[in-house]
Amino acid sequence: MCYAVQKSAMWETALSEGNSIHLSLVYERMASSHPWLDWEWSVRGMMPVADSDINCAPRLLESSEQAVRWLGEPSRLDLHRTDLDAYVYNLTSPQPSVYTVAHELDDPIADGLIWKTHLVTMSSYEAEEYMSGDDALIGKLAMQDDVREWLEAFVALHYKDSTFKKRRRDKLDTEEYKFGQESLLELRRRMLASGKPEGELH
């Protein structure tokens, strides 16, 4: 049966297997208060997917008068060395996040789901490329501790000449993070001054 493994065990397994993980997004539909809209859609979470489940179909999770939730089809989140600046920026932001992009389907699936996952990324720069259009559902999820530690390990590995101190779960001091000889707080200021986009989606 798809998605039968406990979530905590699945994260532990998925995050130990290299620079990519498979996961599914949780989509939510709620009645809209807007006079021109029947529904409001959002991405509410994500769930790791075991290798044996990567071909599973989307499915309805729960339905009530207030909201309906679906588990989307499995997608892959990849880490890339070319995105290291974006990852560092994300990790030193007040709320490290995972960014998602979904495209609308022509026909609903799984009893009403109208979105197909297009992108899951740790780079807000990549997600912002899709914000100018009206045909995408953009999500921003708080990064879970296990996922953040996985990303931190990737950054620390590929900045071999730097001192990258991992974030404590209960405290963040951005001055402690070093990127070469430059503190990441200073790096963020320099990136903003040079016109690079913010690491947060609004």
Cα gap 22→68, rounded to integer Å: 23
On whether residue 2 sits in a domain, the answer given is no
- Residue among 200, 71, 201, 79 nearest 136 (CA): 201
In this prediction, residue 189 carries a pLDDT of: 53
On whether residue 200 sits in a domain, the answer given is no
In this prediction, residue 36 carries a pLDDT of: 80
In this prediction, residue 34 carries a pLDDT of: 81
Show Cβ contacts of residue 1 under 8 Å, excluding neighbours closer than 6 positions.
Answer: none
Domain count, the chain: 1
Report CA 1 to chain centroid distance, whole Å. 25
- Residue-number span of the structural domain to which 74 is assigned: 7-193
On whether residue 37 sits in a domain, the answer given is yes
On whether residue 199 sits in a domain, the answer given is no
On whether residue 173 sits in a domain, the answer given is yes
Instruction: Assess whether pLDDT exceeds 90 at residue 160.
Output: no
**Residues written for the chain:** 202
Q: Rounded to two decimals, what is the model's pTM?
A: 0.75
On whether residue 156 sits in a domain, the answer given is yes
Matching residue, tokens 């529904």: 39
In this prediction, residue 30 carries a pLDDT of: 93
Q: What is the pLDDT of residues 14-36, one digit of tens each?
A: 676 678 999 999 999 998 888 78
> Among 52-66, 119-133, 150-164, 174-188, whose mean pLDDT is lowest?
174-188
Report CA 116 to chain centroid distance, whole Å. 15
Q: Mean pLDDT in the chain?
A: 80
On whether residue 12 sits in a domain, the answer given is yes
Q: What is the pLDDT of residues 59-111, one digit of tens each?
A: 999 999 889 999 999 999 999 999 998 999 999 999 999 999 999 999 999 99
In this prediction, residue 99 carries a pLDDT of: 96
On whether residue 78 sits in a domain, the answer given is yes
Average pLDDT over residues 125-153: 89
